[in-house]
Structure 1
Amino acid sequence: MVIGHSINRVLDALKWPIGAFAVLMFGPLMYAMLRFALRIWQHPWGLIWFIAGILAYALAWRPFMRRWLKTDWMLTVEHELTHALFAILTGHRVKSFQVTRKGGRVEVVGGSNWLIALAPYFFPTAPLVLLLLAVLMPLGTLLPWTGLFLGFAMAYHVRSTWIETHGAQTDFDQAGRWFSAIFLPSANLCAIGLIASFAVGGWDGMQQFTSDASAAIHWLVMLVPSAFSWPVEDPPLLTPAPAIDAAAPASVDGSVSAAP
């Protein structure tokens, strides 16, 4: 497909600039995460339903989900769905989608790119699906479905990403291992921070997270030039004090009076 080939070329050209940007963004994103954690520490009840969803996943893991995930079937479905989703978003047509208990495979028309290859390792597909379900639930704005569902889905996403991220993944070879190593940490911080912020404060929470990251970026931008700046002109010299005539009579307050 012509659109897919064009987008692939653009992504290839932007690959390393995006990688450099991801490295620079790691610090501001960490700062935004710390600010988010501080807000939760001060007002922990805002995260109660999100934490309840995480605990629900932990309780469901051993008796129910462990048997399913042991075959990697659920992980493979989400993994390949994310590949397919980003293939479509970057102008490609999905030729085949295969998921078995031994693995999965997605074939796209027009060749792949690094974004398709790395998407399952940072993009929270499961949280977004459950977020959509929460919005469609009856009384979704009145009941705590959003925080509960997002907590459950984020626990699943973090665990699945941890399991899938290992040295034997061929997706890292396709995208480049060095690029994967510098891009994925910031991408995951951004995804987890935005989802957690939304679970606590909705759109305002997401805006606060991005504002904190932007504030850190502004601070870095102001810091770097000042660290390398030098004075452009010499500081003004002090004007020497007038010499005191020892023969001149002194006034009562100790100052020297002018000679007649």
Structure 2
Amino acid sequence: MVIGRRIDQVLEALKWPIGVFAVLMLGPLCYATLLFAARIWQHPWSLIWFVAGILAYAFAWRPFMRRWLKTDWMLTVEHELTHALFALLTGHRVKSFQVTRKGGRVEVVGGSNWLIALAPYFFPTAPLILLLFAILMPLGTLLPWTGLFLGFSMAYHVRSTWTETHGAQTDFDQAGRWFSLIFLPSANLCAIGLVASFAVGGWDGMQRFSSDASAAIQWLVMLVPSALTWPAENPPLLDPVPGIDPAATPPVAIGPDSAAS
């Protein structure tokens, strides 16, 4: 798989620049998230179906899903499915896909890369699948399927990510533990923010979230040169007062004229 090897080389070369970018993006993403939360605070009813989906998952998980659907097995299926999806997206062929009660395994032809290793820990596969299902349903644009399904599946995604993120994961060794530590917070905040924004405002909501983050980036870009050149060589407020030439200025009498008689 020549294409897969080339993509692996590019991803490896961009690995640490992407890691640095993820660290720099953490602040702007937090800023965009706070603005999103402020908009929801002003108009809480816009998020009602998304929250209803989250609550539906919370109430259904223990008494139903965990017992009947075996969510631990479902978590493994989604985890390995995301590995396989990103293997295909980066030019690799999936040789085998195995999921059992004890765990799962995806065998990729032509090696792997850090994106394949870390994809299940930030990419919302389940929300995207249910989003497609909601769009294809009858009256998908008129009924609240999108918000419900996104809320339900996003709660599932957050729980699965929390459950699967632990020190014993060999995926972190493959991608590098320090890189995983600096990349995943921003990646998760971006994914959750975009999905929640779409649940509230559709594509316009996603664009608003992205614009807020971009505005914060522009502010940082403008701030860095100012910080590097501070303090200025001749600050305007500290300029010396120019001297006064006595010959060019006529004398001014102060008080009564002493020469008058």
Question: Does TM, normalized by the shorter one, top 0.5?
Answer: yes
Structure 1 counterpart of 2:11: 11
Alpha-carbon deviations, 1:135-182, whole Å to 9, x = none?
A: 000000000100010000000000000000000000000000000000
Secondary structure at the counterpart of residue 127 of structure 1: helix
Over aligned residue pairs, what C-alpha RMSD do you find?
A: 2.0
TM score, norm. by length of structure 1: 0.92
CA distance in 1, matches of 2:16, 2:243: 58
Secondary structure at the counterpart of residue 195 of structure 1: helix
CA distance in 2, matches of 1:42, 1:145: 23
Alpha-carbon deviations, 1:69-92, whole Å to 9, x = none?
A: 767200000000000000000000
Instruction: Give runs of aligned pairs for residues 1-260 of structure 1, distance below 5 A.
Output: 1-67=1-67, 72-229=72-229, 230-233=231-234, 236-241=239-244, 250=253
Q: CA deviation at 1:232?
A: 4.7
CA distance in 1, matches of 2:46, 2:71: 36
CA distance in 2, matches of 1:200, 1:113: 34
Residues 241 and 96 of structure 1, relative CA distance in 2, 3 Å threshold: same
Instruction: Tell me, yes or no, if the aligned pair for 1:134 and 1:145 is still in contact at 8 Å.
Output: yes
CA distance in 2, matches of 1:67, 1:224: 54
Instruction: Tell me, yes or no, if the aligned pair for 2:22 and 2:187 is still in contact at 8 Å.
Output: yes
Secondary structure at the counterpart of residue 166 of structure 1: coil
What is the identity, as a one-letter code, of the residue corresponding to 1:134? A
Q: Percent identity?
A: 82
What is the identity, as a one-letter code, of the residue corresponding to 2:253? A
Instruction: Tell me, yes or no, if the aligned pair for 1:69 and 1:75 is still in contact at 8 Å.
Output: no
CA distance in 2, matches of 1:196, 1:217: 21
Secondary structure at the counterpart of residue 166 of structure 2: coil
Instruction: Tell me, yes or no, if the aligned pair for 1:71 and 1:102 is still in contact at 8 Å.
Output: no
Q: What count of residue pairs does the alignment treat as equivalent?
A: 251
Instruction: Tell me, yes or no, if the aligned pair for 1:124 and 1:157 is still in contact at 8 Å.
Output: yes
Instruction: Tell me, yes or no, if the aligned pair for 2:56 and 2:152 is still in contact at 8 Å.
Output: yes
TM score, norm. by length of structure 2: 0.91
CA distance in 1, matches of 2:66, 2:256: 92
Gaps of at least 5 residues in structure 1 are none
Residues 167 and 2 of structure 1, relative CA distance in 2, 3 Å threshold: same
What is the identity, as a one-letter code, of the residue corresponding to 2:176? G
Secondary structure at the counterpart of residue 141 of structure 1: coil
